[in-house]
Structure 1
Amino acid sequence: MDSVPIIDVTSLVCNEKDLVQQEETAKQIHNACQEWGFFYIKSHGISQQLQEKLQKQSKIFFAQPVDEKMKISMTNGGRAWRGYFPVGDELTSGKPDQKEGIYLGTELSSAHPKVESGIPLHGKNLFPENMPEFKNTILQYINEMEKLAHSLMMGVSLSLGLEADFFEKNYLKEPTCLFRIFNYPANKNTNRSEETWGVGEHTDYGLLTILLQDNTGGLEVKSKSYGWVKAPPIPDTFVCNIGDMLDRMTGGFYRSTPHRVKNITNSDRLSFPFFFDPSWDSNIKVLPLPSSEPDTNERWDRLNVYKFNGTYGDYIMKKVSKVFPDLAVKQAVVVQ
């Protein structure tokens, strides 16, 4: 197949589990993760009404003047790293992305132990006061996506020949759930050079990303066999991809795949990635699988993720500190 596969995940998300169908779904996930590192999912159980409500509220937010959006700037989010950033503030491989966005995550009170301890990326979200419905929509969506992600990771466990609850027991007791809303402004530049990329080539950090994209398109995936392939929006599906930590755990048996986005249309593009990652203090270990350490020159960044030892918190902070270096210095959260 020369396109990202589509997998029906009914057997993973329904209450009455069909074990035979679960095994078949797991085989499809296995094949997709080895060839692509990406797959679409359908029959996922997330209501169309909630998706449309999220997109509508997001369009309203991004249509506001920058001064209004900056009222929830990430500079006000403290160590939780939540809030809005304008076009050009986020870096990929040291280059400014052509997108604006909002950083969000699991809503935690100031009394939560990780918040009291000052653990980065944990805390309360920042929401626009002039859009009260936005907060409820986002928190509902995060809650629904976390449930879906747990179900999908069961499928990933089975796809690796592990017990269905392997990741649940060992890495997801208190998962790191991060949610982003990105707006890629209409492309008014006819010069399609590298600088026009909404976000350049990269891989995600954790276990699993579940992406809702609008109808604009622009996502491209780099498969092992076919090179760069478009991953266009398909009605009532999400795009899923695995991240660096699953790559690390499997010793390259499953690979985190480079991807990028370019908005070449005359309209804005909305994107909603939900990142489902290991618990912050999980020690990342290699799983007993038939894999070997790949050549690091194959990675987009020439880094060797397989040499990483430590907790997931260690890994992600080294990464995000490079995405927002000025903010990292201000919040004193850079990990050496």
Structure 2
Amino acid sequence: MAAAAVEPSSTQTEARQAAQAYLNSRLTNGTSTPSTNPGQKSPFTIPVIDISPSFSPNLADRKAVAAQIHAACSTSGFFQITGHNIPSSTRQGILDLAKRFFHTLPREKKDALHVRHSKYFRGWEPAEYTYVNPADWTGEQAAPETKEGFNWGYEEGLDATGGDGAYVELDGGKGNGNVWPREEDLPGFYATVREYYAEVLGLARHLFRLFALALGLEEGAFDGMVTHPGGIARLLYYPPSKDPRPLEAGRKDDEIGLGAHTDYECFTILLCSSAPGLEILSPEDEWVEAKAVEGGFVVNVADFLMRWTNGVYKSTVHRVVNRTREERYSVPFFFSINYDQMVETLPSCITPGNPSRYPPVRAGEYVLERLKATAKDG
């Protein structure tokens, strides 16, 4: 069983409450459909950014990509990237692995990996065990979540750099809390995870240098904060809809893959299969379908980056509703700074008209507090 819960500090509690208040305020204003009067304003479009110039030795090329990222992050906090250099075989391999895990591993072997056994919420996560938005547990509008997941975090064996030997877990403990299926139960599982994770971790570190440029900082400003970073990843499965219907005005969804929420860390890199389902709350407070770009990744700002930038960058409210008869798979990677690092407002984002809104909070403790709030018996 999971270890005894540690009481959160007042700062952690306040940070969690602030995140919930932000989510609630956005959902209060949000509608259930895209605009019915698109001619009255410019429709929201999701930026697609080719980041291939960011690998150029020319700083001007890298800054040009960073400027596009800044524009996206200061409006919706949501964009898609191409030109990232992660092979298609690696991307398809992890999606195929998700299908194998959810459909071939017997229930009793999944149950041995259940997240209830882990104080870090690692392992198998059945649909009925969590609600990503804790307010949905008692909400009259809530529909049961249909997602099924498998969660793991950073470990040095997954890091192509080998790490710096200083990784600490969410609660500051040494080692890592990952659990894995036995090799004989799912041959090649860990090797496939390692191949994908190493690639996306490298991409995340590269993107963080672009975020630094986007914020007017030195390109390596965050490098020392991601030497043993938090990097929770998930395999997710969304079953086909029992009653597939498009997003319609005034209709309550009876099936929700993953409820409306914001992510906790700095930013998320999402790989998904061809089946649609991801929807974001646009700056105009309308739900908009986010159709995946072939060969691309979805990237969205999460709570740490919003706190760090004093609200200049927006943490994206999003949800997943599979409205088709297709199975949907996705692999989100939630990138954080080192868990023993403090998150506090960047001085450059504090102005006389925008004083610091957020007190400092330790990265790992904040994420752990948010995860605990999602579990029904947490």
Task: Please give the TM-score of this superposition, normalised by the length of structure 2.
Answer: 0.76
Report the alpha carbon displacement of residue 112 of structure 1 after superposing the two structures with TM. 7.6
Matched, 1:211 2:279: no
Per the alignment, in what secondary structure is the counterpart of residue 166 of structure 1? Answer: coil
Superposition deviation, residue 291 in structure 1: 5.6
The number of residues matched between the two structures is 312
The answer to whether structure 1 residue 102 and structure 2 residue 144 are counterparts is no
Residue equivalent to 2:362:
311
Q: Which residue of 2 aligns with 1:10?
A: 52
Cα distance in 2 for partners of 1:276, 1:307 equals 20
Q: 1:334 aligns to what?
A: none
Equivalent residues in 2 for 1:219-230 (5 A)? 219-225=278-284, 227-230=286-289
Residue 203 of structure 1 deviates from its aligned partner by 0.5
Q: Secondary structure at the match of 2:333?
A: strand
Q: What amino acid maps onto 1:172 in structure 2?
A: V
Q: For 2:168, what is the secondary structure of its paired residue?
A: helix
Q: Say whether 1:79 aligns with 2:119.
A: yes
Cross-structure match for 1:183: 237
Shift, 1:162, TM fit? 0.6
The answer to whether the 8 Å contact 2:278/2:318 transfers is yes
Partner of 1:66 in structure 2? 107
Aligned pairs (5 A) from 1:232-251: 232-251=291-310
Determine which structure has greater relative contact order: mean sequence separation of CA pairs < 8 Å that are 6+ residues apart, divided by chain length: 2
* Residue 44 (structure 1) aligned with residue 84 (structure 2): yes
**What residue number does 1:252 align with?**
311
- Look up the match of 2:75: 35
Aligned-pair CA distance for 1:290: 4.7
Identity %: 31
Q: Find the aligned partners of 1:179 and 1:224 in 2 and give their Cα distance.
A: 27
CA drift at 1:316: 0.9
Deviation, 1:306, is 3.7
Deviation at 1:70, TM superposition (A): 2.3
Structure 2 spans left out of the alignment, 5+ residues: 1-42, 137-143, 158-164, 246-250
The whole-number CA distance in structure 1 between the counterparts of 2:114 and 2:257 is 20
Do the aligned partners of residues 2 and 118 (structure 1) sit closer, same or farther apart at CA in structure 2, a change above 3 Å counting? closer
Alignment RMSD (CA, Å): 2.7
Aligned equivalents of 1:119 and 1:108: distance in 2?
15
SS of residue in 1 equivalent to 2:202:
helix
Q: How does 1:319-330 map to 2 (within 5 A)?
A: 319-326=370-377, 328=378
Judge conservation of contact 1:203–1:258 (CA < 8 Å) in 2: yes
Change (3 A) 1:33 1:39: same
CA displacement 1:248-268 (0-9 Å, x = unmatched): 011111110101110011122
Is the contact between residue 167 and residue 175 of structure 2 (CA under 8 Å) also seen in structure 1?
no
Q: Residue 308 and residue 86 in structure 1: after superposition, are their counterparts in 2 closer, same or farther (change >3 A)?
A: same
Residue identity matched to 1:86 = P
Q: What SS does the aligned partner of 1:196 have?
A: coil
User: 4+ residue runs of structure 1 moved beyond 6 angstroms?
Assistant: 292-295
Out of 180, 184, 197, the residue aligned to residue 126 of structure 1 is 180
Rounded Cα–Cα distance in structure 2 between residues aligned with 1:37 and 1:185? 28
Q: Deviations over 1:9-57 (max 9, x none)?
A: 1133x3x522111111011001010111011010101110011111112
Match of 2:139 in 1: none
Q: 1:161 to 1:292 in 2, by over 3 A?
A: same
Q: Which residue of 2 aligns with 1:147?
A: 202
Please identify, of 17-26 and 39-48, the stretch whose mean Cα deviation from structure 2 is larger.
Answer: 17-26
**3-state DSSP of counterpart to 1:251:** coil
1:173 aligns with 2:173: no
State the Cα distance separating 1:113 from its structure 2 match.
Answer: 6.9
**Shift of residue 195, structure 1, vs aligned partner:** 4.5
Unaligned segments of structure 1, at least 5 residues: 296-304, 329-336
Change (3 A) 1:311 1:294: farther
Inter-CA distance 33–320: structure 2 relative to 1 (3 Å threshold): same
